[in-house]
Structure 1
Amino acid sequence: WDLVCDSQSLTSVAKFVFMAGMMVGGILGGHLSDRFGRRFMLRWCYLQVAIVGTCAALAPTFLVYCSLRFLSGIAAMNLITNTIMLIAEWATHRFQAMGITLGMCTSGIAFMTLAGLAFAIRDWHILQLVVSVPHFVIFLTSSWLLESARWLIINNKPEEGLKELRKAAHRSGMKNARDTLTLEILQSTMKKELEAAQKKKPPCELLHMPNICKRISLLSFTRFANFMAYFGLNLNVQHLGNNVFLLQTLFGAVILLANCVVPWALKYMKHRASQMLLMFLLAICLLAIVLVLQEVQMLREVLATLGLGASSLANTLAFAHGNEVIPTIIRARAMRINATFANTAGALAPLMIILSVYSPPLPWIIYGVFPFISGFAFLLLPETRNKPLLDTIQDEKNERKDSREPKQEGPSMKVTQF
């Protein structure tokens, strides 16, 4: 559509529209998924991405194209969240972290695949079709997916939940699943979850928990800062190097590597200190890009790749840390607030590059300052490594009480190396 000269800034607007769709999808997705189920929403989003993406390749005007991209963004966000929820709700506790990590690793593979496709297919209409049409096949084959048994049981559908559990047991090779899994056993096992689901919490409940509000605010700010930098790098590849295909491939590789490092980092590194260092590293890389001349393309690409790797690793660690500092009873609500701030940053990130008309370094300074400031915010959050998960508000109060009280150890409690 001749988006050059005075119309060049409209390319950033197109990116903003897609990210705004992801923001709206993040807000609506949780409510729709809780009401209609994870499997239904996941399949619906597969179909929506397929239809809207195919139509976008044939869009006659820029306005129609942006409208379709907005709808695609809504579906894309729900694809991610419902996939992660199904993995988390079906996997056993032993394999849950591994399943989510593997799910997040696919984003790195997708980056590299997209770079290869874009290098081979230079016509964007055909590229859009190649990326969108396979979703029709995925939609048809996704009928074998099972609905979350946990969601069915909590929503007073125990018979349907039992049916899905028996299907899962049969696929896993368990014999006599019909005799082993009964409605009585299921209800007794899920008694705690059912009682918690019956207690409806008012939306304003968080206002009466100042310490929880502080933690949610800090987590939301750090996610906002990280996503601002992440999408600032991700959506402005053409400003960082001449070979956008190579840079996109490097981004995918470093994201894949970062997600592979996550299990080790969670086990051996302090969560608060590691996130702080990663955010400072991200800020240094972004601010260093401002000082490097455009002619030194290789150094700019190295800095961008290193920064994106730090951002990706910090984001996954923040996801785990956020789950640990918020009690289970309000965790879903808190994570929804955090996701809203993260998606808002993702929507604003492509618009920041428009400021380069007034000053070329200005967008990169903004991208770098946010993670630098947010690095200090982790000092105000508690360290959670090797500590039990908080389940109730009382657990959080007990944690604060224990941290304030000095530990008085008598001689009989002291254990020496000898």
Structure 2
Amino acid sequence: MAFQDFITQIGSLGRFQILHLIFVQICFILIVPHTVLENFTAAIPSHRCWVPILDNNTMSDNNSRILSQDDLLKISIPMDSNLRPEKCRRYIQPQWDLLHLNGTFSTVTEPDTEPCVDGWVYDQSTFLSTTVTQWDLVCGSQTLNSVAKFIYMTGIFIGHLMGGHLSDRWLSESARWLIVTNKPQEGVKELRKVAHINGIKNSRDVLTLEVVKTTMKDELEAAETKPSPLVLFRTPNLRKRICLLSFVRCVSLISTVGLLINLQYLTNNVFLLQCLYGVVITPANLLGNFSMNYMGRRTTQIIFMSVMGISILSITFLTQEMQIPRLVLASLGGAISSASLTSIAVLSNELVPTVIRATALGVIGIFGSAGAALSPLLMILVTYSASLPWIIYGVLPILSSLVVLLLPETRNQPLPDSIQDVENK
């Protein structure tokens, strides 16, 4: 509790903290769009097999000249169960007899079909070019689209591992960190700087090296032995908290990232859905902050993750024709997911002890990044069932909300400064 007394003296929410908050938000603004960009750069437009009679401009067949495009399509591409042209197969030979059926079913055997051996024709009305159309990541190669997203998210995961070490080199450290790492003079200087920015007068008289050393005596003694990451798992209560928080963070990001990078599967208009998500995310986060302050961190996390899971599961029961309900549920799920990530981040900060908080949050963050990296791979399951990935994305948040019940509430509770504080609770 010693350092918190200094925070009160220099201003707990002043100009300094607000400026830092703004800078952090700018970083998020620059980073997050790269993830949701996958909905556009890796979009899967409507497609069908390339067939000579339809797509070869040099064809001189007299019949193909007098027939309409719809007739040519009918004799070249079989229809799926929704009476739409198949995306991955074509007739081996043009089926001229189909022109005379007039909507009735043929009594003969089904014509022979083959895969799209000559490539595909893509609808360019919305996207002129994507990674899918560039490399033909459809049909038998559709899983490679998920693998490409996995590689991208793996890059973020590697960056997460490296970021901590790079930030120690390039960024100025907090006053608390400077003091407990045997740099008290620099820590006092940082405290005075914060007090000056926040407009606190006479801080030089109060914040002296002697006062800091005396007030933070216990923390300085505890910091003499630098704890390793293994210490997180040596005591029962702390081990339980780290494991549960890591699981919740991992599972939350699996569903959140899975939803945000696959919006194109949920609607026919990904641009509209992306705009709706951007509109509702700010009110959702404001609601999350209000809920955390008045209902508690744990209750907020439970409610928000449950709502997110129910929203995703509900979409699986709606047909593609029910576009408005799908848009509403997808926007709600995306916005709530962002607010729930904020609440679990706050809960994690307040449940781990100060002396090893950076290490603990790093471990929890690694599990979260691993979940985000694995998330795109679940879409490979669409080859077995179109709804299966979304069922998993929906069940996981509900499961994590149940796990949160095993964690203590932290609203209006003092932050644990040492591992002993966690164990004593």
TM range (shorter): 0.5 to 0.7
Distance 1:222 1:356 in 2: 25
Between Structure 1 and Structure 2, how many residues are aligned?
A: 291
| Structure 1 position 372, deviation (Å) | 2.0
1:355/1:278 Cα in 2 relative to 1: closer, same or farther (>3 Å)? same
Give the letter aligned to residue 3 of structure 1: W
1:227-266 alignment, distance < 5 Å: 227-266=253-292
| Structure 1 position 175, deviation (Å) | 7.0
Contact 2:251–2:371, Cα closer than 8 Å, also in 1 = yes
* 1:398 has 2:424 as partner: yes
* 1:367 has 2:393 as partner: yes
Q: Which has the higher helix share?
A: 1
Secondary structure at the aligned position of 1:199 is classed as coil
Partner in structure 1 of residue 308 of structure 2: 282
| Structure 1 position 234, deviation (Å) | 0.7
* 1:36 has 2:62 as partner: no
Partner in structure 2 of residue 322 of structure 1: 348
Q: Write the deviation string for residues 88-109 of structure 1: whole angstroms up to 9, x where unpaired.
A: xxxxxxxxxxxxxxxxxxxxxx
Q: Write the deviation string for residues 97-127 of structure 1: whole angstroms up to 9, x where unpaired.
A: xxxxxxxxxxxxxxxxxxxxxxxxxxxxxxx
* Larger-gyration structure (1/2): 2
Contact 2:350–2:410, Cα closer than 8 Å, also in 1 = yes
Partner in structure 1 of residue 328 of structure 2: 302
| Structure 1 position 159, deviation (Å) | 4.7
Give the letter aligned to residue 161 of structure 2: I
Q: Write the deviation string for residues 321-348 of structure 1: whole angstroms up to 9, x where unpaired.
A: 2233333333333222221111111111
1:10-409 alignment, distance < 5 Å: 10-33=144-167, 35-39=168-172, 148-162=174-188, 164=190, 168=194, 171=197, 183-188=209-214, 191-399=217-425
Secondary structure at the aligned position of 1:380 is classed as coil
Give the letter aligned to residue 270 of structure 2: V
Unaligned runs of 5+ in 1: 40-146, 400-418
1:220/1:181 Cα in 2 relative to 1: closer, same or farther (>3 Å)? closer
Distance 1:273 1:265 in 2: 8
Distance 1:388 1:157 in 2: 26
Unaligned runs of 5+ in 2: 1-130
Distance 1:391 1:373 in 2: 30
| Structure 1 position 396, deviation (Å) | 2.9
Distance 1:271 1:166 in 2: 32
Distance 1:379 1:168 in 2: 38
Give the letter aligned to residue 332 of structure 1: A
Give the letter aligned to residue 19 of structure 1: M
1:154/1:392 Cα in 2 relative to 1: closer, same or farther (>3 Å)? closer
Contact 2:236–2:423, Cα closer than 8 Å, also in 1 = no
Contact 1:282–1:308, Cα closer than 8 Å, also in 2 = yes
Q: Which moved more, 1:201-210 or 1:314-323?
A: 201-210
Q: Write the deviation string for residues 192-251 of structure 1: whole angstroms up to 9, x where unpaired.
A: 544333222244333331232222212211111211111111111211222222212222
Contact 1:38–1:148, Cα closer than 8 Å, also in 2 = no
Contact 2:223–2:355, Cα closer than 8 Å, also in 1 = no
1:167/1:328 Cα in 2 relative to 1: closer, same or farther (>3 Å)? closer
| Structure 1 position 291, deviation (Å) | 0.9
| Structure 1 position 32, deviation (Å) | 3.9
Secondary structure at the aligned position of 2:405 is classed as helix
1:377/1:174 Cα in 2 relative to 1: closer, same or farther (>3 Å)? closer
Q: Write the deviation string for residues 270-308 of structure 1: whole angstroms up to 9, x where unpaired.
A: 433332222221111111111111122221111111112
Distance 1:148 1:272 in 2: 28
Distance 1:287 1:166 in 2: 52
| Structure 1 position 360, deviation (Å) | 0.9
Distance 1:160 1:14 in 2: 46
Counterpart of 1:3 (choices 135, 145, 152) is: 135
Distance 1:255 1:282 in 2: 13
Contact 1:37–1:151, Cα closer than 8 Å, also in 2 = no
Distance 1:335 1:367 in 2: 24
Contact 2:288–2:300, Cα closer than 8 Å, also in 1 = no
Distance 2:316 2:349 in 1: 35
Distance 1:327 1:176 in 2: 31
1:151/1:350 Cα in 2 relative to 1: closer, same or farther (>3 Å)? same
Distance 2:423 2:201 in 1: 46
Contact 1:3–1:10, Cα closer than 8 Å, also in 2 = no
Contact 2:285–2:338, Cα closer than 8 Å, also in 1 = yes
Partner in structure 2 of residue 141 of structure 1: none
| Structure 1 position 181, deviation (Å) | 5.7
Partner in structure 2 of residue 116 of structure 1: none
Contact 1:285–1:307, Cα closer than 8 Å, also in 2 = yes
Distance 2:186 2:414 in 1: 33
Secondary structure at the aligned position of 1:251 is classed as helix
